[in-house]
Amino acid sequence: MSVTHHHIPDSMLAAYAAGNLPHAFSVVVATHVSMCAISRAALGAHQAVGGAVLETQDAVPVSEGLKCDLLARLDDPIDLPAAPAPRDGIYPGPVVEALKGRAPKWKRLGMGVCQDILFADKEGSLRLLYIPPEQAVPDHGHNGLEMTLVLQGSFSDETGQFGVGDVEIADESLEHTPIADPGEPCICLAATDAPLRFRALTPRLLQPLFRI
């Protein structure tokens, strides 16, 4: 079993516990938490603090009509939440849910690197990345936040090495060239809230086509 060295920051766990993260980032956090006992315990602590804060809030009076309506609906049938999606190979439950029951649909980006866009809206995008062993992703910076979670293999860049379960948090201050380590292909789950900033001309020209 792999040991996680790079965890989700406390501030982001707190935002996730409060329901304040965009969907793409929430999926990455949920996936990491499902893989990492340390972050899972930290999230539980944030959720406990949130519950304690709610208990200290002043009660808000409600109308008699609203109270009667709520009591009348107690016998209504309810839809129970679905059980968490089971793990499928290297893909934890949150990724299985994001895939919606299908296998990854890899689309080539060049040099053997592939992606599968799982979700995209005005707040950000979520994708799977496939990087062959010893292959580099083009040197790039960031116009916003990027979270990259390793599901298989590992990669290294200017900030260190990231293995299964590790998360790299990149912002506008980081320019890097991630390279998949020797061995098995590196497969990552990545969320961004803004387009990347490439130095080389070819990636910049292809960027609108690849939606990265």
Q: Please tell me whether residue 184 adopts helix, strand or coil conformation.
A: coil
The whole-angstrom separation of Cα 193 and Cα 21 is: 11
C-beta separation of 176 from 161 below 8 A: no
Check residue 62 and give its pLDDT.
Answer: 62
What's phi and psi for 49, nearest 5 deg? Answer: -65, -45
The whole-angstrom separation of Cα 19 and Cα 11 is: 12
Check residue 38 and give its pLDDT.
Answer: 94
5: tokens are: 């060295």
Check residue 54 and give its pLDDT.
Answer: 47
Q: Return mean pLDDT, the chain.
A: 87
> Is the domain defined by 1-212 classed in CATH 3.40.50.12280?
no
Quote the radius of gyration of the chain (alpha carbons, Å): 20
C-beta separation of 2 from 163 below 8 A: yes
With CA atoms as reference, report the closest residue to 10 among 138, 186, 165, 169: 169
Which helix H or strand E contains 7, and what residues bound it? Answer: none
Residue-wise burial string across 28-54, b where 16 or more C-beta atoms lie within 10 A, e elsewhere: bbbbbbbbbeebeebbeebeeeeeeee
Residues in the chain: 212
Residues of the chain where predicted confidence (pLDDT) is lower than 50:
1, 53-54, 80-81
The whole-angstrom separation of Cα 30 and Cα 27 is: 5
Check residue 70 and give its pLDDT.
Answer: 57
With CA atoms as reference, report the closest residue to 12 among 121, 107, 145: 145
Q: How many CA atoms lie within 13 A of 158 on its CB side?
A: 11
Interacting residues of 124 by C-beta distance below 8 A, sequence separation 6+: 22, 23, 24, 25, 191, 192, 193, 194
Check residue 99 and give its pLDDT.
Answer: 97
